[in-house]
């Protein structure tokens, strides 16, 4: 929870990849699934360990547990207190990162690959994964910081809108339940320890290694990293979310701009409609400066700086979402324009020219998706965590080329229904 003072550059850097990424996959002695890409370009190593331990597994009334467990994982482990962990990592120039989202908790290590750097860094990672202390004093302190952050977020129009949008989309599913100051206040260090014991297990883990290593070294590392984890079993999922039903939420706020979200639950990871929706959405609102939403809302009318649409497939049906911000007095007009654009697209699909442009960009930009270790790591960790086919990247461009306008219309018809569209506005007049 860093409060950045800097204004971010308006640089859109998205995820990544490159034909010819060779993913090696095996199962460690512990039962954890391992994904490895050897890359000798730079003397460095990235290791990401993902557990199915995201907020969707928060018990009722204890929303925020998954996030707090992950946040305090490296605040003391084994014989090391939080200062020793941070100092020892810094001494060898290693970085420990990661976080928790709805589906997963990630722990990511970046280290130099030289043995005298790599080995102590991996030893710390192992300790953090298998023996976090959850010291009561530290947990109370971090609870306080989390609660303060949540209260701050409850004053921000974009956060308010985002929370209300997820609550409206998922009224009966864990995706719709979010941490509150009250729910976090109830958490104890024993809750965290129990959550860790249950979900941070080998059977529930996927490990991704990218960098300056041989296969045999990677095998040893994966075995050692997970040998101290409980064997566990794969986590059972809750019943899938419902389809989403029309609702309108309008929240007051003194901001100068209204924040507007439209959407509904759509597809899960691995859904066969994914490529048709991806290609179609490029024309609708995914294609940066060249989408229909950008043209109509921003270029023609000057209503918004940022307007977009996307599908965010999750373990279970993740959202289709349109978002924009506009001067509060013109919120209604902007919503109408966005709805018209969506309705028009659902009715007619993309033109031949639009479809060709979408395919040209999505296939042509493929090398940009894999031109760094970090991008390879992100892609391969996704493949591993969500159990996508190992040749997913190899066939990515072909799958895009194969999409037809009819596929797009049909897929949008199945997943995006105007009548069910959920709308949230904050600070709209």
Partner 1 sequence: MRFKSLLMLIVAAGLTAGAQANPYETTLKNGLRVIVKEDRRAPTAVQMVWYRIGSMDEVDGASGVAHVLEHMMFKGTPTVGPGEFNKRVAAAGGRDNAFTSRDYTAYFQQVPKESLPEMMALEADRMRHLNVDAKEFEQEIKVVMEERRMRTDDNPQAKLFEQMNAVAFQAHPYRRPIIGWMNDLENMTAADAKAWYDQWYVPNNAYVIVTGDVDHKEVFALAERYYGPLEGRALPPRRQQIEPRQEGTRRVSLKAPAELPVLIMGYKAPILRDIERDSDPYALEMLAAILDGHDAARFNKKLVREDKVALSANFSYDSTGRGPGMLYLSGTPAEGRTVADLEAALRGEIARVQRDGVSEPELKRAKAQLIASEVYNKDSMFGQTMEIGQIEAVGLPYQKLDRMLEKLQQVSTAQIQAVAKKYFDDDALTVGILEPQPLDGKPRRPAIATRH
In the region spanning residues 131 to 190, those forming contacts with partner 1, defined by CB under 8 A, are 138, 140-141, 143-145, 147-149, 151-152, 154-155, 157, 181-182, 185
Of these, 15, 27, 29, 90, which contacts partner 1 (CB under 8 A)? 90
Ordered strands of the 318-327 beta sheet? 247-251, 422-426, 257-267, 318-327, 307-311
Task: Give me the least distance between CB of 120 and partner 1, in Å please.
Answer: 12
User: What single string gives the DSSP state of each residue in 200-219?
Assistant: SSGGGEEEEEEES--HHHHH
Beta-ladder partners of 150: none
Candidates 81-89, 221-229, 338-346, 384-392: pick the segment binding partner 1 (CB under 8 A).
Answer: 81-89
Which of the residues 389 through 418 are near partner 1 (CB under 8 A)? none
Task: Give me the least distance between CB of 260 and partner 1, in Å please.
Answer: 12
Taking alpha carbons only, the member of 11, 35, 26 closest to residue 376 is: 35
The answer to whether 321 and 260 have CB atoms below 8 angstroms apart is no
- Give yes or no for residue 83 binding partner 1 (CB under 8 A): yes
Of these, 290, 312, 388, 390, which contacts partner 1 (CB under 8 A)? 290
- Give yes or no for residue 374 binding partner 1 (CB under 8 A): yes
- Give yes or no for residue 295 binding partner 1 (CB under 8 A): yes
- Give yes or no for residue 123 binding partner 1 (CB under 8 A): no
Size of the site for partner 1 (CB under 8 A): 89
- Give yes or no for residue 325 binding partner 1 (CB under 8 A): yes
- What's the DSSP call for residue 256? S
Task: Give me the least distance between CB of 148 and partner 1, in Å please.
Answer: 5
- Give yes or no for residue 79 binding partner 1 (CB under 8 A): no
Beta-ladder partners of 259: 325, 426
Which of the residues 17 through 76 are near partner 1 (CB under 8 A)? 18, 41-44
Taking alpha carbons only, the member of 103, 105, 346, 61 closest to residue 241 is: 103
- Token duo for residue 10: 């308006």
Nearest residue (CB) to partner 1, 138 versus 167: 138
Nearest-angstrom CA–CA distance, 151 and 51: 28
Longest CA–CA separation in the chain, Å: 63
- Token duo for residue 156: 């921000």
Task: Give me the least distance between CB of 257 and partner 1, in Å please.
Answer: 4
Of these, 61, 305, 395, 413, which contacts partner 1 (CB under 8 A)? 305
Nearest residue (CB) to partner 1, 89 versus 218: 89
Candidates 7-15, 53-61, 271-279, 344-352: pick the segment binding partner 1 (CB under 8 A).
Answer: 7-15
Nearest residue (CB) to partner 1, 155 versus 351: 155
- Give yes or no for residue 250 binding partner 1 (CB under 8 A): no
- Token duo for residue 220: 């040893």
- Give yes or no for residue 249 binding partner 1 (CB under 8 A): no
Please give the helix or strand (H or E) that residue 423 lies within, else none. strand 422-426
- Give yes or no for residue 115 binding partner 1 (CB under 8 A): no
State the CB neighbour count (10 A cutoff) for residue 429: 11
User: What mask of x and - would describe binding to partner 1 in positions 188 to 227, judged by CB under 8 A?
Assistant: ----------------------------------------
Beta strand extents in 24-171 (DSSP E only) = 24-27, 33-38, 44-51, 95-100, 105-112
- Token duo for residue 76: 């003391």
Of these, 112, 124, 213, 380, which contacts partner 1 (CB under 8 A)? 112
Taking alpha carbons only, the member of 196, 225, 229, 195 closest to residue 208 is: 225
- Give yes or no for residue 352 binding partner 1 (CB under 8 A): no
Task: Give me the least distance between CB of 10 and partner 1, in Å please.
Answer: 6
Nearest residue (CB) to partner 1, 145 versus 347: 145
DSSP reduced 3-state for 104: coil
Candidates 92-100, 233-241, 380-388, 402-410: pick the segment binding partner 1 (CB under 8 A).
Answer: 92-100
- Token duo for residue 416: 């995006």
384-408 as b/e: b if 16+ CB within 10 A: bbbebeeebbeebeebbeebebebb
């Amino acid at each position: 929870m860093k409060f950045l003072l800097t204004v971010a550059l308006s640089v859109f850097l998205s995820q990544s990849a490159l034909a010819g990424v060779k993913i090696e996959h095996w199962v460690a002695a512990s039962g954890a699934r391992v994904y490895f890409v050897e890359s000798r370009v730079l003397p460095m190593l990235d290791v990401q360990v993902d557990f199915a331990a995201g907020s969707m597994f928060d018990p009722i009334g204890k929303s925020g547990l998954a996030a707090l467990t992950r946040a305090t994982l490296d605040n003391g482990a084994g014989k090391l207190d939080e200062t020793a962990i941070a100092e020892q990592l810094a001494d060898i120039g290693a970085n420990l990162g990661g976080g928790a989202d709805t589906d997963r908790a990630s722990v990511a290590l970046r280290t130099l690959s030289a043995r005298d750097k790599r080995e102590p860094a991996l030893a710390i990672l192992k300790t953090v994964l298998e023996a976090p202390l959850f010291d009561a004093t530290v947990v109370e302190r971090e609870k306080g910081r989390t609660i303060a952050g949540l209260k701050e977020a409850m004053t921000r129009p974009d956060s308010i809108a985002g929370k209300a949008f997820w609550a409206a989309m998922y009224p009966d599913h864990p995706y719709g339940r979010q941490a509150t100051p009250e729910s976090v206040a109830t958490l104890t260090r024993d809750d965290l320890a129990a959550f860790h014991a249950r979900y941070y297990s080998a059977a529930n883990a996927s490990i991704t290694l990218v960098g300056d290593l041989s296969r045999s070294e990677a095998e040893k590392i994966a075995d050692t990293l997970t040998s101290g984890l409980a064997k566990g079993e794969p986590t059972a999922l809750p019943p899938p979310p419902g389809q989403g039903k029309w609702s309108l939420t309008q929240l007051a706020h003194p901001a100068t701009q209204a924040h507007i979200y439209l959407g509904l639950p759509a597809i899960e990871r691995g859904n066969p409609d994914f490529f048709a929706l991806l290609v179609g959405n490029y024309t609708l609102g995914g294609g940066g400066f060249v989408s229909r939403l950008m043209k109509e809302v921003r270029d023609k009318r000057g209503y918004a700086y940022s307007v977009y649409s996307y599908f965010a497939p999750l373990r279970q049906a993740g959202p289709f979402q349109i978002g924009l911000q506009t001067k509060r007095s013109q919120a209604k007009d902007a919503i109408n324009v966005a709805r018209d654009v969506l309705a028009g697209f659902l009715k007619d699909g993309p033109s031949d020219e639009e479809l060709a442009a979408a395919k040209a960009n999505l296939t042509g930009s493929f090398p940009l998706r894999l031109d760094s270790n970090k991008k390879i790591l992100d892609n391969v960790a996704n493949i591993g965590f969500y159990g996508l086919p190992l040749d997913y990247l190899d066939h990515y461009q072909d799958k895009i080329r194969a999409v037809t306008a009819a596929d797009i219309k049909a897929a949008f018809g199945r997943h995006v229904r105007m009548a069910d569209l959920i709308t949230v506005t904050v600070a709209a007049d």
